[in-house]
Structure 1
């Protein structure tokens, strides 16, 4: 009983310290996942805790369970609309990207480590895939808004590339232990089986879970448990039939998250905490597992591998994979840089150790060190690199909070919270007068909260700076309404974000020739009669996203707003700067 209490106390202390230290992580600009890893290392045998933990089987179990929960949460929060611009590019990076990275890195590792090519290729396969936990966490907490093409490509790639990495590691372990059983045909068969069964099981299982979620009436806390337990069933059952459980659980979450119902918000709230617990627990265990002194012994090899991976192998694989999709060079550069390595390579590095592969401890130590370098260098520079490579778009005007109240089987009421800013159009106005000015009958003021107290609204009520205003409004009006509460009169659409989108707002449906005649720029002969959006798409040569730009002489057209179907609804026009006369 004493040992059980000691174990629980240790686990609680480690997790508690890690969570409290998260504020320090934010101030230093370091990824929070790295902090969990360092706390585990400090508690390990070379750290102040002195805990000798070498149970690779337990670490593998915890790692797989945590990754399954993280991928499920990632799928739940991925909107199907993102697949419109990123499905095929991300699919190429999830397959060829992993293979190409592993081949290049394997050749380099053969020379650097002076080992047999098969062992070097195994190491390259271990660190060849990006990590869903790191990508989801860092992109969504980076503080910058990436353009949708880049963000969706990175997230879908990280959620879908684990099967390829696992397959490569499995095949290379077979090559080392049973070379007579390895063949190209077997690799192709395993690839089709893993991907096919994983996709089929994920979509079918997600559809069943979504139907159950919509039909069952449970206590609020049980909805998330239903999805987690169902997701783990799909994960383990798919693995049992030699499919990719990681792909299956990600797709199951995607299906459930996009078939919204009365229980979806309950699931997302609980899953947020479960995903953080999974990440923290996994990185703490992996930090305990490693011996820092061994990392120092192989630091030179690991640094060489990490630099080649970040600066050569990943960029070449990404560039060749995205070539057919006409990504801009700055987008390719940023996607190449944010090839974040995390828990997946460390978990994959455990597999050769458990299978008894020669020199597998060397592989584990080098893979762990590569992950540390990736999180320290790439993870800490995600926001800075986004600005450097110009893949940032101005932040949306959004509600402070939003709630979904389901009032029927298929009907939901959106409640949006806004904070009145100094100098906004809302300040000093009655809520009803402000909403009448917005011209929408679908919006109602539900409550006004002032200094933490509910304010009784009368005819003499005037909104003041700092008031929280709750509106019942369709979600598609959220951004438009936010402009009325933003500081400095930011609701003026003609001047908002003028430095990025341009000084003028133009209708994407107007004939391009009319705009050319009005502003005096030249078009190609076959573009004159085309709607502006069609002309823009033709010149861009890829599906547009907010922030995409096309130059027409000295003028620049920029996509400003899009609807959920992927149609451009508003464009900005930036005019050339006039020369100063004095």
Structure 2
């Protein structure tokens, strides 16, 4: 009970964490090197029963690591603080052709069941992206429109960074898309959108000084100034969820109605 109470007293009054996040922080207080080092001091000082104290401390640390550490994924899902894992390129790198907005090579592995045995010509590719190579069982194929994809294929795509969202959606599959939409919301907004425009569309009320803020600045302010992907703000019954960041700047915000 000591750690949950300590977290409640020292974290909740000063940071805008939700109760389920407070619960998760309370659970992940793993005991490690510090208790073991402190337990060594009685041994060094020749205190009576020092070995017993050290063994007890070591056992507590070990049990904490096994029980708390082993249940972290389950606890994150139960507390609903786990961020869905989306699909990103396995590898990416610029081609070095243009000085600005250069083309890049994106490498994806076909794990989406919906793409199995689908001809390349039927893929909903971004207009500026093309497949440059396809590898199957360590052999390079020359892809054509009639080439059918197989699970495990590795695809090299040439495109620009603006093509990444569409490519990631293409290779992620419906199941992962549903998970992402359930967490981040069906709609997303640019973090640079002005709050007065969003408030006008949805009929929301802004406090003085908020109308000139961008959505990213607004969310950053509401979460305490240090946002991370997955942070959300409950405002007017709508959850505004940080879905993408660039450095310390919020670039995309999702809208979730529950």
Which TM-score tier does this pair reach, normalised by the shorter chain?
Answer: 0.7 to 0.9
Deviations for 1:263-312, whole angstroms, at most 9, x for unmatched residues? xxxxxxxxxxxxxxxxxxxxxxxxxxxxxxxxxxxxxxxxxxxxxxxx21
DSSP 3-state at the match of 2:114: coil
* 1:486 aligned to which of 156, 172, 195: 172
User: What residue number does 1:558 align with?
Assistant: 241
- Greater shift in the superposed pair: 498-507 or 358-367: 498-507
Displacement of 1:361 after TM fit? 0.7
Residue 229 of structure 2 contacts residue 242 of structure 2 at CA under 8 Å; is this kept in 1?
Answer: yes
Give the SS at the match of 2:253. strand
- Larger Rg, first or second structure (1 or 2): 1
Q: Is 1:423 aligned with 2:78?
A: no
Aligned residues: 248
Q: Does 1:547 align with 2:230?
A: yes
Say which structure, 1 or 2, has more relative contact order (CA 8 Å, 6+ apart).
Answer: 1
Q: Which one of the candidate residues 466, 491, 510 is aligned to 2:193?
A: 510
Q: How many angstroms does 1:352 deviate by?
A: 3.7
Task: Please give the secondary structure, in 2, of the residue aligned with 1:423.
Answer: helix
Gaps of 5+ in 1: 1-310, 408-412, 577-582
**Alignment match, 1:390:** 80
Answering whether residue 149 of structure 2 is matched by residue 464 of structure 1, we say yes
User: Per-residue displacement from partner, 1:40-95 (whole Å, max 9, x unpaired)?
Assistant: xxxxxxxxxxxxxxxxxxxxxxxxxxxxxxxxxxxxxxxxxxxxxxxxxxxxxxxx
CA distance 1:488–1:541, shift in 2 (3 Å): closer
Are 1:353 and 2:43 an aligned pair? Answer: yes
> If each structure's helix is expressed as a fraction of its own residues, which one has the higher value?
1
Equivalents in 2 of 1:429, 1:416: separation in Å?
16
Q: CA deviation at 1:369?
A: 2.1
Deviations 1:132-153 (A, max 9, x none): xxxxxxxxxxxxxxxxxxxxxx
1:531 aligns with 2:202: no
Q: CA RMSD in A?
A: 3.6
* Whole-Å separation in 2 of the counterparts to 1:396 and 1:527: 32
Query: Structure 2-normalised TM-score?
Result: 0.76
* Unaligned residue ranges in structure 2 (runs of 5+): 97-103
2:87 pairs with 1:402:
no
| Matched residue SS, 1:572 | strand
State the 1:429 CA deviation. 1.1
Distance (whole Å) between structure 2 residues aligned to residue 351 and residue 374 of structure 1? 21
Distance 1:458 1:496, change over 3 A: same
Secondary structure in 1 matching 2:120: coil
Residue of structure 2 in register with 1:454 after alignment = 139
Matches within 5 A, 1:99-138: none
Question: In the TM superposition, what is the alpha-carbon distance from 1:475 to its structure 2 partner?
Answer: 8.3
Aligned to 2:99: none
Residue number in structure 2 paired with 1:138? none
TM-fit CA distance, 1:510: 1.9
Provide the C-alpha distance between the structure 2 equivalents of 1:367 and 1:473, rounded to a whole number of angstroms. 55
Written as runs of structure 1 = structure 2, the 5 A alignment for 1:85-484 is 311-312=1-2, 314-322=3-11, 323-342=13-32, 345-346=35-36, 349-350=39-40, 352-399=42-89, 401-402=90-91, 416-424=107-115, 427-429=118-120, 437=126, 439=128, 445=131, 447-450=133-136, 452-460=137-145, 462-466=147-151, 467-471=153-157, 481-484=167-170
Q: Could you tell me how far apart the structure 2 residues matched to 1:575 and 1:330 are?
A: 18
Q: 1:404 and 1:426, CA in 2 relative to 1: closer, same or farther beyond 3 A? A: farther
8 Å CA contact 2:120–2:144 kept in 1: the answer is no
Deviations 1:446-465 (A, max 9, x none): 54222x14132054552413
3-state SS of the aligned residue for 1:334? helix
Larger deviation: 416-425 or 499-508?
A: 416-425
Contact 1:346 1:364 in 2 (8 A): yes
